């Protein structure tokens, strides 16, 4: 698929890689290996519709890099799915996993359908047949390739995929449930996975905003509190990012969806806006907000932080000069074209890149995979022990001061970590440490004019190159 600026999404990703690769000292042949997609599987299969007719379905699975196994990446249901898009997304997954130190190679899959045109029974048949095709060619498995939800898919589709894989393994594979992540919690999933990408976006934005020197350069005060935010997209990522940013003290002033957008300079109630759209089928007409007929215009409204959380190539040479935000936080994959990126750099804006910022999903998918492989729920072994230890400490303090702690504070003080607590703690640590690493690499290449995107690519290239060299492939 080609953007309005002439570059395909894959060319856009490769341009980012090439810009960073020039700042490294790795062997050109090794760089060529890292850049290329290792394997792509294309398959067609028939599905019988409810009316008795037959559709021929096209689907892909790309495994970009085998420097770490298993490979990891989502499966999307969309009419935009085609080979180069899947390869581009798989490439981003490799770099994303490397940046946040998740030990997977990158992969991606997709089925070219408009899911709204299929019944639930038909969607299940398509999902199960796709899984069967992946099994036949060994493009799925706990130690091989582990799909996850993406655009147009969710926990239900992952449950279908897992059930199909388990049934085909005939009970011979102990770790079979680890074949996919993003499953319902009752089907081997993990608490916090659904909201993980959006929560990770909020943690990443907070980490960036806490850099006083960077905020000063932008003319902003440190911290998320009070920052005006425009969100594009109220899907899974955008809605949760908006919720968590609001919880951190940001003011959501604009929301853009495909049918249009709303803007309110004094702030919008995110939960109320989501409920309004669910009830009315449109974000327009939300009380206390100004309707914006064209959703693209919302991106150009006054704000401090713009969060594109929809599709690829939303920020282009055409609208980049009109963006009023000081910070672009890429919650979607590839929302900024290379031409827009140049304009943002020339304007000294801060772009928090997708290969770091939307890594929350794969991070918590990693936790789910570990849970499935270990066959134990996080927190199960230590929660009560922690609560007992904390209770003894509190009781000791109460004895010394001769006064009992108020019940609410006492309950918080003796609380032992649940699975959700541990997942969110691990995600927060991953996003904070990931930003620190990227920020440090940017500082190391400051003389070369590196921005955060280039620094993230350099960081990923260095880590993947080290993995290949450890394997002895490039001595």
Give the residue numbers annotated as catalytic, written as ranges.
Answer: 108
Q: Residue holding tokens 């690499």?
A: 441
**Residue tagged 């659904």 (tokens):** 194
The owner of tokens 């894959």 is 10
Written as six digits, the tokens of 58 are: 């096209």
Contact of 350 with 214, CB cutoff 8 Å = yes
DSSP 57: E
Backbone angles phi, psi at 291, to 5 degrees: -75, 140
Q: Which strands form 71-77's sheet, in the order they lie side by side?
A: 39-48, 54-63, 105-111, 71-77, 145-149
Q: Which of 152, 131, 146, 155 is closest to 180 using CA atoms? A: 146
Containing 56, the helix (H) or strand (E) segment is strand 54-63
Let me know the angle formed at the C-alpha of 366 by 334 and 61, rounded to the nearest 5 degrees: 55
Phi and psi based region of residue 285 (left: phi greater than 0; alpha: psi -120 to 50; beta: remaining): left
Q: 71 to each of 91, 107, 448, 456, 460, how far by Cα in Å?
A: 11, 6, 32, 20, 15
CA distances for 381 relative to 69, 143, 387, angstroms? 28, 26, 12
Tokens of 63: 């495994």
Give me the torsion for CA of 101, 103, 108, 114, rounded to 10°: -70
Q: At what angle do helices 236-247 and 270-280 cross, to 10 degrees?
A: 150
Cβ count near 403 (within 10 Å) = 9
C-alpha 475/C-alpha 27 separation (Å) is 10
Q: Is 417 helix (H, G, I), strand (E, B) or coil?
A: coil
Cis peptide before 117 (omega within 30 of 0): no
Give strand pairing partners of 308.
232
Q: How far apart are CA 203 and CA 241, in angstroms?
A: 9
Residue that the structure tokens 């080290």 belong to: 466
List, in sequence order, the alpha helices (H) in 70-195: 83-99, 120-136, 155-168
């Amino acid at each position: 698929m080609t953007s309005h600026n002439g570059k395909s999404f894959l060319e856009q990703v490769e341009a980012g890689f090439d810009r960073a690769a020039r700042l490294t000292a790795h062997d050109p042949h090794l760089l060529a290996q890292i850049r290329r997609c290792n394997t792509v599987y294309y398959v067609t299969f028939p599905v019988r519709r409810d009316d008795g007719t037959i559709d021929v379905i096209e689907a892909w699975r790309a495994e970009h890099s085998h420097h770490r196994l298993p490979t990891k990446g989502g499966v999307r249901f969309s009419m935009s799915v085609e080979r180069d898009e899947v390869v581009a997304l798989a490439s981003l997954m490799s770099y994303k996993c490397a940046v946040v130190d998740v030990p997977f190679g990158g992969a991606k899959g997709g089925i070219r359908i408009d899911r709204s045109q299929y019944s639930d029974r038909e969607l299940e048949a398509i999902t199960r047949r796709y899984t069967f095709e992946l099994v036949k060619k060994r493009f799925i498995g706990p130690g091989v390739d582990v799909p996850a939800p993406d655009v147009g898919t969710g926990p239900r589709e992952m449950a279908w995929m897992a059930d199909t894989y388990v049934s085909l393994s005939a009970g011979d594979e102990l770790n079979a449930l680890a074949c996919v992540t993003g499953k319902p919690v009752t089907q081997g999933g993990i608490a916090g996975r659904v909201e993980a990408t959006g929560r990770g976006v909020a943690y990443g934005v907070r980490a960036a905003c806490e850099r006083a020197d960077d905020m000063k350069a932008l003319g902003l005060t440190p911290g998320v509190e009070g920052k005006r935010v425009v969100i594009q997209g109220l899907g899974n990522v955008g809605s949760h990012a908006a919720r968590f940013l609001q919880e951190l003290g940001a003011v959501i002033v604009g929301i853009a969806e495909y049918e249009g957008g709303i803007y309110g300079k004094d702030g919008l109630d995110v939960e109320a806006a989501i409920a309004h759209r669910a009830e009315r089928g449109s974000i327009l007409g939300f009380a206390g907000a100004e309707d914006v007929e064209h959703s693209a215009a919302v991106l150009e409204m006054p704000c401090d932080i713009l969060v594109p959380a929809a599709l690829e190539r939303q920020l282009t040479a055409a609208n980049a000069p009109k963006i009023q935000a000081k910070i672009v936080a890429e919650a979607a994959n590839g929302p900024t074209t290379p031409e827009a990126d140049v304009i943002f750099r020339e304007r000294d804006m801060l772009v928090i890149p997708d290969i770091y910022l939307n890594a929350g999903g794969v991070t918590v998918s990693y936790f789910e995979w570990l849970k499935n492989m270990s066959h134990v729920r996080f927190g199960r072994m230590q929660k009560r022990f922690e609560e007992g230890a904390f209770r003894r400490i509190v009781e000791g303090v109460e004895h010394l001061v001769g006064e009992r702690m108020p019940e609410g504070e006492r309950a918080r003080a003796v609380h032992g970590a649940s699975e959700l607590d541990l997942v969110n703690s691990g995600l927060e640590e991953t996003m904070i440490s990931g930003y620190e690493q990227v920020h440090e690499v940017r500082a190391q290449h400051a003389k070369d004019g590196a921005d955060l995107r280039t620094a993230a690519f350099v960081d990923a290239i260095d880590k993947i190159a080290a993995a290949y060299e450890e394997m002895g492939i490039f001595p």
